A and B are shown apart, each in its own frame.
Chain A
């Protein structure tokens, strides 16, 4: 277990972060290069003002027509995404590791709060799963890969929660937690989790089209 943990938290973590950062940059740059090559007109219409107008509206709960129409989903998806980002980045245990390895540290969440946020992420995954299983319009466009990416996202939080509470065989759960986190990082650029990378761009372009040409709202 000693060696296994050393391995997953050492070399494998390097691999995961390199693939995550490198992969994300690659996907982003490859997209921009292809736009430049084949659809450069897109740049003609990009407008900072309307890009931001669109992004800010969609990143604010209830600021768009569709968010207002779907209050439950809106609350869940915002809670889910906020907790998904905030809890791992500001988790005391994670920052402690950054601090020990790189001598960098930042503000952290109280463990109790992080624990609740983890539960929110897990609950969000359950909500999305149930939505996929029960809502016909979601079911119809669901592929096995959709369950798979949902599992990829849920795994680090479920194992993290178990590891924190030290339930079901601590050292193994801890190793699984590290592995699950690494799998998720690597999956971001190479699965539809890449909406994390792409969505600011698609949003910005749609916002620009609607602002510059169509002079109406895309939110």
Chain B
């Protein structure tokens, strides 16, 4: 999985090439101005209401949100990367021209909305009026989705959601096969271990994102090991809906988002579990806890959603995971936007980190003020064409990590898949030489296992 570090020379040679995204280009080639106008006005007039209008009318153009944004900070404070700058280049213009914008304008708009904003909502904390800039950018994504100009890679995952109810085209039999394979592997180490499939009435349904069975199956192994050692009454579903991830949420495809979430909740209801515990993923938490459930009309998740951080906190607090010795290397904790700023798990994450590790070095800023990883919000899912932009757009994160490293941190704990991948790209690009781990990796490593 590790990619080679880029040397300084290679970096110089890298040129910012014009990204050609087939998903966007083909979509744009099909657009007419009339179609654009019709879609923009349909979304702005019928799908949005007082909220969007009030946000746009209240914004006093003060620019105070700018420094919240890692894109802006990483591009030497170039205002075209500021949150309000991005709204100006997209939504304001659409409103001002009453939807009469060109296909070229829409090419730039989709690029901004899908690849230059992570919807991390840090700017929401900076705006004196509490304007939901992430919502405004989401509406631009919605317009782009309806115009069919979403970037290719993320559109593909949305298609996958639509067809398979998971993000990675994992086929029906591949899923239980993978679980059984991991169960078998793990029984070598934990002879009594089971991954209970479809156990009705279990306390917990454990759900993951599709990249886990696809290419990080060891995470399922680790989760099963933790459940085994802690003696948890749990189950995993064998049927569609096991994937809690949701890229449709990030392409503005609310209809598919709704289908995916409904399937997920209905699955948990069919298994009559008390709670859904999810792996260390941020966007999935946002989707089941905040966005998707509400789109379906549930003011709160119909079945309690417990993020891995919360779950580990519970287990550690109750001494249900026997620890051999604490993780010796100094760690620093990355606060993922969706579970910290979006879920308030900052103190629990610290409890877990301190319970597991000898030394925890805080990043600055931290907790809900932490800088984004620049991978979330569907940006990393827009794929390789945008990777260079993504890492260059988060120099400020590299600086933040460098500072934590200077104060002794050797390992980054990132309890979120997107952050994990994004930080890995950043550490490679900026030669940070730090390890990145999930809480699960560390728990698995230091817990007492049968001889």
Contact = CB atoms under 8 A, between A and B. Distances in A.
A216 B344 contact: yes
Contacts of A139: 79
Interface stretch (B31-39, B122-130, B141-149, B321-329): B122-130
B132 interface: yes
A216 to B, nearest CB: 4
A216 B366 CA distance: 13
> Which of A44, A70, A203 has the most C-beta atoms of chain B within 10 angstroms of its own C-beta?
A203
Contacts of A45: 299
Contacts of A214: 290, 341-344
B130 A70 contact: no
Interface string B289-302: 11000100001000
B63 A135 contact: yes
A198 to B, nearest CB: 4
A140 B79 CA distance: 6
B58 A198 contact: yes
A46 B130 CA distance: 14
Interface residue tally on A, bucketed by range? 35 or more
Given A141-B85, A214-B341, A218-B130, A136 B125 contact: no
Given A58-B128, A140-B85, A192 B63 contact: no
A206 B124 contact: yes
Contacts, number: 133
Contacts of B78: 136
Contacts of B340: 216
Nearest to A150: B60
B54 interface: yes
B343 A38 contact: no
Interface residues of B, number: 49
A203 B54 CA distance: 11
A42 B344 CA distance: 20
Nearest to B289: A213
A94 interface: no
A191 B84 CA distance: 19
A181 interface: no
A81 to B, nearest CB: 11
A146 interface: yes
**Interface hub of A38, A54, A136, A192 (most chain B Cβ within 10 A):** A136
A10 to B, nearest CB: 32
Contact of B64 (A44, A66, A198, A216): A66
A181 B62 CA distance: 24
A34 B58 CA distance: 16
A198 B61 contact: no
Contacts of A34: 49-50, 53
B126 A41 contact: no
Interface string A199-219: 101110111011001111111
Contacts of A203: 129-130
B292 to A, nearest CB: 13
B163 interface: no
B120 to A, nearest CB: 12
Residue in B49, B51, B54, B67 with the greatest tally of chain A CB atoms within 10 Å: B54
Q: Please name the 3 residue pairs, one residue from A and one from B, whose CB atoms are nearest each other, closest first.
A: A215-B344, A206-B130, A38-B49
Interface of A: 30-32, 34-35, 37-39, 41-42, 44-45, 54, 58, 65-66, 69-70, 73, 135-143, 146, 192, 194-195, 198-199, 201-203, 205-207, 209-210, 213-219
20 contacts: A31-B54, A35-B49, A38-B49, A39-B51, A44-B299, A58-B130, A66-B126, A136-B79, A137-B72, A137-B84, A138-B63, A140-B79, A195-B59, A199-B130, A203-B130, A206-B124, A210-B124, A216-B341, A216-B344, A217-B125
